[in-house]
Structure 1
Amino acid sequence: MGRVDGKIAFVTGGANGMGRSHALLLAREGATLIVTDMDEKGGNAVVEEINDHGGQARFFKHDVSSVSDWERISQEAMSTFGRVDILVNNAGILVFSAVQDTSNEDFARVLDVNVKSVFYGTKYILPAMKAAGGGSIVNISSIYGLIGAPATAAYQASKGAVRLLTKSTAVDYAPFKIRVNSVHPGIIRTNMTKDLLGDADVAKQVLSATLIGRPAEPVEVSYAVLFLASDESSYMTGSEVVVDGGYTTM
């Protein structure tokens, strides 16, 4: 207990899946949470669970691709808490299709949610981190930001962009004691992958590529996020933490 005691943590896409898991674990380890999502019901349920267990959390409905939403919520975070110590840019969407089968609208939407949100989140939370004297930004990329895969053109473009945006930000803000790292999950059991894992043949093919032979539970990624958010990773910035059951090893 207490690995992020007293820190203010901001988690996007925190209503379900990995975001929910990140928020709950950070709260359990002592952080005060700002949870944002478009899903009000799910987001409020996460906040209620945190508060019911003695933690502190607030929920904001939030379109991460909206500049005005980021301006509004970052200002409210500062007025309420005075600083932000941890930012987890977690929100993301997935479209399965190759380049020719991807509509222009789908491609733009994936980049809006998966890339622009990380840029906006970083840009509008940095002043709060500077006010805190430093902080940790954890960007959720993917193994598909590292390697190729079929029928995921927009998703892979977005997650590759997150990987290098992370490194660029790490270089620029190290003088302010702000660390920026990326996490690259493999196949995680969430709503995003339920259709993929629900097809027995596809699941067998995908999971056979992992050394551990099963999908990860969200909390197994959350422990990597917690490590990067905490002072335990004080000598890490611009790094990639891969949580993929050995998928990218072979």
Structure 2
Amino acid sequence: MTDAINTTEKESNYQDLDKMSVHELLTNINKEDKTVPDAVEKAIPQIEKLVDAIAERMQGGGRLFYIGAGTSGRLGILDASECPPTFGVPPDWVMGLIAGGDKAIRNPVEFAEDDDEQAWKDLEKHAVNTDDVVIGIAASGTTPYVIGGLRAANAYGIATGCIVCNSGSAVANEAVYPVEVIVGPEFVTGSTRMKAGTAQKLVLNMISTSVMIRLGRVKGNKMVDMQLSNHKLVSRGVRMIMHETGVDEETATAWIKEFGSVRKAVDQFHQNKR
């Protein structure tokens, strides 16, 4: 492999970490973290193409799949799991799959990421098809589980994307819509849960949020379809209804209980005004 492909494995810019004070450790980690948003900004043109492709397919009834191993797989699962409560969408609209299965969410499964056939088997369990999009997440861009999954998806005419932190990687070469966020060496050499993981999380936030807005799951700047699953969210919903309709808190609270949704309550208000 070339140095370009091995950026995430390069030696840290910092030496003798074990001799640093806590203040020095925190300051230097923070210094490195500050470079991540700039790296993400450079990838916005790539992210835009991927978001457009996802939104187009999901508007036609397609779904979004994330595939990854280790930290990358867990980040995909995290983003997918936040979509239903945040945007009120069914749990099968956005799904995260990890090498080694659900056990690997908490505990590493040895060599699971080295199986280049398993990702497609995992996708097939969900009847993945040409209406869908598959995004491979791999900081190194060399994970066989992800490479194999994208390659198979491509063979079946399924749109593919990726989020990687090395340039010219095998994963990016398989993806039709690659996103490469080059964050450079990690503070702890090779520990891609740090800057690379942060970059992946930022990009995932951008992708899912932008797609859901394009799908109409946000009104103005409000999560009108959020699940009202605790007192904090119910209170937020009440405030949103008050702001949108001008009714008092007691009325908004009653509407939340009656309709169970901010969107439904506001829509009913506007219908009654016609």
Higher strand residue share: 1
TM-score for the superposition, normalised by structure 1: 0.39
With a CA cutoff of 8 Å and minimum separation of 6, indicate the structure with the bigger relative contact order. 2
TM-score (norm 2): 0.37
**Highest Rg: 1 or 2?**
2
